[in-house]
């Protein structure tokens, strides 16, 4: 049994939720944001300075 061209994963393609980004995420990417804004939101959420220079 072969499905024509379509892989059964996520039906709809997901886009980075960052406003104005529009970066299409990979269907295998569980994140909501692209790699750029993923880091950005992580920094926003954790306001605690984890990394000190």
Cα–Cα distances in Å, from 17 out to 2, 9, 21, 34?
33, 19, 7, 8
Closest approach of Zn ion to the CB of residue 6, in Å: 25
Closer Cβ to Zn ion, 10 or 35, answer by number: 35
Closer Cβ to Zn ion, 10 or 24, answer by number: 24
Residues that bind Zn ion (CB under 5 A): 16, 18, 21, 23, 34, 37
Closer Cβ to Zn ion, 2 or 40, answer by number: 40
């Amino acid at each position: 049994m072969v499905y024509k061209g379509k892989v059964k994963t996520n039906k709809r393609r997901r886009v980075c939720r960052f406003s104005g980004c529009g970066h299409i995420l990979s269907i295998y990417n569980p994140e909501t944001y692209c790699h750029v804004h993923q880091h950005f939101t992580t920094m926003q959420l954790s306001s605690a300075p984890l990394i000190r220079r």
